[in-house]
Amino acid sequence: MNLRPLAQNPDEHARFAAYLDKLRRVADADEADLVGRILADPDRPTPAVVQRG
């Protein structure tokens, strides 16, 4: 079993929670940039953005 990909990819639930935390704390002026970075994530954690609503 190759564990290398697991070590390179952080747990998606932890990343989702981190995105939600960042979205809660982001300044209005920086929100669009943060949303763009979240949407650029290859795992597409769009629920974090939708939940931000």
Instruction: Return all residues near 30 (Cβ < 8 A) that are at least 6 apart.
Output: none
Q: What global pTM score does this model have?
A: 0.63
User: What pLDDT score does 28 carry?
Assistant: 93
Contact call for residues 35 and 49 (beta carbons, < 8 A): yes
**Does the pLDDT value for residue 36 go beyond 60?**
yes
Mean pLDDT (the chain) is 75
Q: What is the pLDDT of residue 3?
A: 45
- The predicted pLDDT at position 31 comes to 92
Predicted confidence band of residue 40 (pLDDT cuts 50, 70, 90): confident
CA distance linking residue 49 with residue 16, whole number of Å: 10
